[in-house]
Structure 1
């Protein structure tokens, strides 16, 4: 897990939209999607519920966001 993935996660969680998050982060949307997928794979849980083009922070995502924002360890 990299710091950059955590920042990407925070922006997607706030906007609940990969396209808008990619624009704000100034990175290609496919790269952002891959980064979030890799983070979810590393954690072993989905962080978002995906419905078509929309994404919604799920219960795992909300707990993870709280820890990211508090700067807590994930080990």
Structure 2
């Protein structure tokens, strides 16, 4: 599972508009569609119902969104924690 795809899904799940999510993420709409399609293929379930320009989360999408948001948040916190630890270790090493 691709971390970036999870971030893309989270943004799309929040906005529920492909163009708005793609713009906020700084990517093209086809890139965003591809990322969500790959997640759906990997999970084996539809995460979104597409209705023209609008999208809605399926029941699967609603459940996955909770876990995806929590997972991304935890990974981001871990990234910051490792960075903070590295700074502390470097400061102690230079003394």
State TM-score, norm by structure 1: 0.90
Give the alignment's Cα RMSD to 1 decimal. Answer: 1.3
Q: Does residue 55 of the first structure (1) align with residue 49 of the second (2)?
A: no
Matched, 1:37 2:37: yes
Unpaired segments ≥5 residues, structure 2: 73-95
Q: CA deviation at 1:55?
A: 0.3
For residues 60 and 9 of structure 1, the distance between their equivalents in structure 2, rounded to whole angstroms, comes to 13
Please tell me whether Structure 1 or Structure 2 has the larger radius of gyration of its CA atoms. 2
Q: How many residues align?
A: 72
Q: Deviation at 1:22?
A: 0.4
Query: Would you tell me which structure has more helix in proportion to its own residues?
Result: 2
The residue correspondences of 1:56-75 to structure 2 (distance < 5 A) are 56-71=56-71
> For 2:58 and 2:16, how far apart are their aligned partners in 1?
11
